[in-house]
Each structure stands twice: as C-alpha cells, then as structure tokens.
Amino acid sequence: MNEMLLEVQNVYLSFGGVQALRGVSLEARKSEILAIIGPNGAGKTSLINAVCGHYHPQRGRILFKGIDITRLPPHRIAALGVARTFQNVALFRDMTVLDNIMLGRHVKMKSNPLACALYWGLAQREEIRHREVVERIIDFLEIEHIRKVPAGALPYGLQKRVELGRALALEPELLLLDEPMAGMNLDEKEDMARFILDVQEELGIGIILIEHDMGVVMDISDRVIVLDLGEKICEGRPEEVVSDPRAIKAYLGEAIAPKGG
C-alpha cells in the first residue's frame, strides 16, 4: 500500500525578515518512514509546525489526503488524522500516564457537556470506548507498570514514550515526530526506534521523523530529505543521502564521506 498522505507544494514561510522555508516541496506516504534532517535553523520544526497548522505559509499549499489544510487551525488538522510529538516533553507532570494519554482523545470526544456531566447513555459508552483505545496503546508501548504514575516522576525516556502514546491516542494516519530521541541514552534510543518501527509496520501509520542521530536515521528510515537554510537540498534513500556531496557539505560533515569518494 503506497497511499499518499501528505503533499507540501512549494511552501514559503517567513517571520519578519527571516525566511524559515524557501519553496519546500515533499511527499509522504502511508507505507514509509520519512526522515527530515539538517543543521539547526534549517527549517525542520518550522515545516512540521506548518503542517500542523501552528504556522501558515505565505505561499504554497499543504495537502493531507488531497484536502487543502494550508489555512486550517491545528484542531481541525488533528481531527483529520495528523498527530505530533514535540522536541521538549510537553506532558502534564502531575497527571498520571493514563490521564496524559487520555488527553490525546480530546478531538474524538463527541458527547455534549450535559451528557458528559450526568454520565448518561452516549457519554458513558464513549468513555468506555476511549479507555479501551488508551489501554491498547499502553499495552502496545509496554508501559502497563507505570499507568498510574505521575508523568513528572518518570525517567526522561519513559516520558518520551508517554508522549508518543498521547499522539497515538488520536488514532492518526500521519505521525510527526520532532526529535523523539533527543536527550536519550543508547538503551532508550533503541527502545524508541523499535516502537517507531512498530507504529509504522503494525499500526500502518505514516511517519515523518526529525532526528539528529544519523545512526537512527540510517536504521529506520525509508527515505531522507535534507534541509538547509529553509531549502530542500537533496532527498533519497538513506544510503544515497549519506554519500551525497550536498548533504555532506551542509550537515553530515566530511568525516562520514565514503572512503575513496
């Protein structure tokens, strides 16, 4: 299955005199993990924020499953099936793991406030269904043992996993991961890489991954796009990008250039 999920068409985004994105175009499919790499300030997070509706580009279009989402607000885009995680953990520290993940269901909740307040009929059935979804995610991410623990009491790597769970609670078709392994040790990175692969392969969710760890990018990505100064400078399979002179010059460094090349 090679269903097109996202099309970014010639997008320009600026803040005052600073151009964050300069004519960026890309495509993301349901069947793949697409990595976006580049130096700090390249425009990676700005691109994710534009896809999520936090920023609106001055030029260009963004399509999700053929629907123009360029000007839609974040909650509308989330309801269509786009979820994300953040560079910095954005959990509610005093709430339990279970409650943090339940918050990811907010755009799925349909019952009116009166029904919810009285816990009758539809609201009760809806609550049960939401909890079933969340419990499946907790099992999937192997965090049953911490489901009642306040998020702020967890090690950093587990907090990142909980944040992934909250994004999955939206039941997205496209998941945007903004540096999901930043600040992790090796074991935590290996666990997160395994879960990201499982999300794509077992749940069938398309993934766009921003990540600085090139070992991770090489191991789990199907395609890689390199941004520099707001422009896309190359793209291809990981083994192609890692040996592309443009990527080496802009980001990867001469040290990893292939021997004899």
Residue 183: the pLDDT is: 87
Is 3.40.50.2300 the CATH classification of the domain at 1-78+174-179+206-261?
no
d(CA 93, CA 218): 33
d(CA 202, CA 49): 26
Better-predicted residue by pLDDT, 3 or 68: 68
d(CA 139, CA 53): 31
Task: Find the range with the poorest average confidence among 51-55, 191-195, 246-250.
Answer: 246-250
Give, in words, the CATH class of 82-171.
alpha beta
Give the confidence band of 258 by pLDDT, cuts at 50, 70, 90: very low
Instruction: Please say whether the beta carbons of 13 and 46 come within 8 A.
Output: yes
Residue 261: the pLDDT is: 35
**This prediction's pTM:** 0.88
Whether 1-78+174-179+206-261 and 82-171 share one fold: the answer is yes
**pLDDT higher than threshold 50 for residue 42:** yes
Residue 113 DSSP symbol: H
Rounded to the nearest 5 percent, the helix, strand and coil shares of the chain are 45, 25, 30
The residue-averaged pLDDT of 217-229 equals: 95
In the predicted model, what is the mean pLDDT of the chain? 88
Q: Report domain extents, the chain.
A: 1-78+174-179+206-261, 82-171
The DSSP line for 116-185 is HHHT-HHHHHHHHHHHHHHHHHHHHTT-GGGTTSBGGGS-HHHHHHHHHHHHHTT--SEEEEESTTTT--
